[in-house]
Structure 1
């Protein structure tokens, strides 16, 4: 895994960790980011160390949006075309993780739909673009962008546990309780050690009861995905 100097403020996730958080099969995620015999869709931010690949927080957000697009039936060919246009217009290697793409990028969508003839893209951008607005709004609901550069800087992975966030500036991007900064894994482990006594864990770690409950629920879901 990349060393601390390489990941400071950027977050770091192994492929299995990222796949679990994103609810994407590891093999699919690896092919999107690293190719694995085919042309990759995204550009990895972090160089591999000791033969181990890792994704940055920015890559995580890119895959999150790529998953949304694939869920809407948009082809990888069209996504590559859209990224090429967006990279040129927005002057960034990671347009899916930039606010401007998600707020002012309708022209990029329209240009891609016209160039590729992808029926799903045409449907999304046709007429008043209402379907496109719904897709973008759904994505922006969970992702926050910084004020200066407009780059993604916070992700709430579950609407059911709104306290849980991933922030590349804190704990190397691990899932944490947003208010206190305590990692969800620590709170969930403490709850198991205390025999499920939520109030005791909350007192020991000086966090609200809701922080313990949401952390435990979040980690339980993560472990279920790992087992699957």
Structure 2
């Protein structure tokens, strides 16, 4: 009897100790579970495993599908756009057409339509259609910046928050004047921080001068035709199009943004 009673008391003490331990650990366990459940949300889509595949492979596969589609139908599987749509944002690929007709088995993970942060677009649509990537992080950055500028101008009788002039008709953005801080935007070409600029109408753009200068140096060219848009150097030698940009000319050995 005494042994049985001692066993019962021992079990009770163990259970009491166990319950105390659980109560102490429960908050930590709940925090750990929450961290695990949120882990996928804390990383951008491009950091997840399914988006680690090189975009180059995806572009190559989509290019082959576009070529086959064009040969068979005489058309390009692209979404409608307007005359006002900028050149390097104009012809987004309609993946539904490629899939429905069997030219593509699945949408690339890098594509916006499948959770990525790129639009796959077609350029040179009338001559030799090529597939390129439009970086939506850059697009969203400039869209948000334009919204901030517009709100400031609405409150200040149309005053454009412009700083020093960097090209004829273009200026650095005066963030201090707007009482806001400049966010860091990285170039899809070099990974370096790139500058933004604003025109006389209050429209913000990416200033691709640094990337263009690098492209010019790599090309080995020292002269260009007066009408040459230097952005073609970025397009021809990389996967990406220079979104939210304006044409650039080669003036006195440097790329210069062209207004209007």
Same fold per superposition (TM over 0.5)? no
* Structure with larger RCO (C-alpha < 8 A, sep 6+): 1
Higher normalized helix content (fraction of residues): 1
Higher normalized strand content (fraction of residues): 2
